[in-house]
């Protein structure tokens, strides 16, 4: 006969007990609380289980625009359903963000961050990194479309006097988008390298002569102060001569 685990039951029970969200100790939720209106902050109750789900959602959203890249699962209508391991196992989360794209985005972001030596504290570098990851995602989607429909499509270019469509074979729209993403990828990489080179030159300049740089900053500060003071209108004294 199986032994009853009261501690496990207590943990499960606690995770279902609602508490006021303002009492949460989760760092992501604590950061969210300060932006909530008082009437929501003081009345919104949340269970421990839902608290974990909300924290994960907030953490994902904090990644910026990259969190919006994954497309919604379309099940059998997805152009990549034939190679999707979740659809193959009848586990496709239809209507929700694609877990496969989420996984690939996280993987590509990690690999590119390592290979490009991205500074996590530099917003510009992170923004460029996310742009680069997006090109990989869109490139993959277009490749899937080309795999199913081919690289060439029959395009209508006009109508004959008899009303018959005039067509010709051209590279597909998916192929054109794929090529655009490759150009964009090259542009982002060049911009990323240029950004790092600029930051490196600045860092080298500071290491070579920090006193001159500090002096220049002080000079600019004094110039700004003088300019502000010059714009102040002097007060007119009362009781002057008639």
Tokens standing for 84? Answer: 């999707």
pLDDT of residue 202: 66
24-81 per-position pLDDT tens digit: 778 888 888 888 888 787 778 878 788 888 888 887 777 777 788 899 999 999 989 9
What is the domain partition of the chain in residue ranges? 18-62
C-alpha neighbours within 13 Å on the C-beta side of residue 114: 5
Q: What is the enclosing helix (H) or strand (E) of 52?
A: helix 48-61
* Helix, strand, or coil (residue 161): coil
Cβ(87)–Cβ(78) below 8 Å: yes
How far is residue 178 from each of residues 143, 158, 171, 181, measured CA to CA in Å?
Answer: 7, 26, 11, 5
Residue written as tokens 């586990």? Answer: 91
Cβ(191)–Cβ(185) below 8 Å: no
pLDDT of residue 9: 41
Q: How far apart are CA 196 and CA 127, in angstroms?
A: 13
Q: Check residue 127 and report its DSSP letter.
A: H
Cβ(159)–Cβ(166) below 8 Å: yes
| Residues in the chain, pLDDT under 50 | 1-4, 8-13, 232-242
């Amino acid at each position: 006969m199986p032994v009853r685990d009261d501690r496990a039951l207590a943990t499960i029970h606690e995770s279902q007990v609602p508490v006021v969200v303002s009492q949460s100790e989760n760092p992501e939720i604590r950061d969210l609380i300060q932006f909530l209106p008082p009437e929501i902050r003081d009345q919104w109750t949340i269970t421990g289980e839902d608290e974990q789900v909300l924290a994960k959602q907030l953490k994902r959203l904090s990644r910026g625009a990259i969190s919006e890249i994954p497309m919604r699962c379309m099940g059998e209508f997805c152009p990549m359903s034939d190679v999707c391991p979740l659809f193959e196992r009848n586990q496709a989360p239809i209507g929700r963000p694609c877990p496969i794209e989420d996984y690939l985005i996280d993987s590509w972001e990690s690999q590119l961050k390592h290979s490009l030596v991205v500074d996590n504290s530099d917003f510009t570098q992170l923004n460029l990194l996310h742009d680069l990851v997006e090109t990989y995602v869109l490139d993959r989607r277009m490749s899937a479309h080309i795999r199913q429909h081919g690289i060439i499509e029959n395009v209508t270019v006009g109508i004959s006097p008899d009303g018959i469509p005039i067509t010709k074979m051209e590279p597909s729209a998916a192929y054109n988008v794929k090529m655009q993403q490759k150009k964009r990828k090259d542009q982002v990489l060049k911009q990323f390298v240029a950004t790092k080179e600029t930051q490196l030159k600045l860092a080298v300049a500071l290491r070579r002569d920090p006193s001159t740089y500090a002096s220049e900053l002080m000079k600019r500060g004094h110039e700004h102060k003088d300019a502000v003071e010059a714009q102040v209108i002097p007060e007119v004294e009362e009781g002057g001569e008639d």
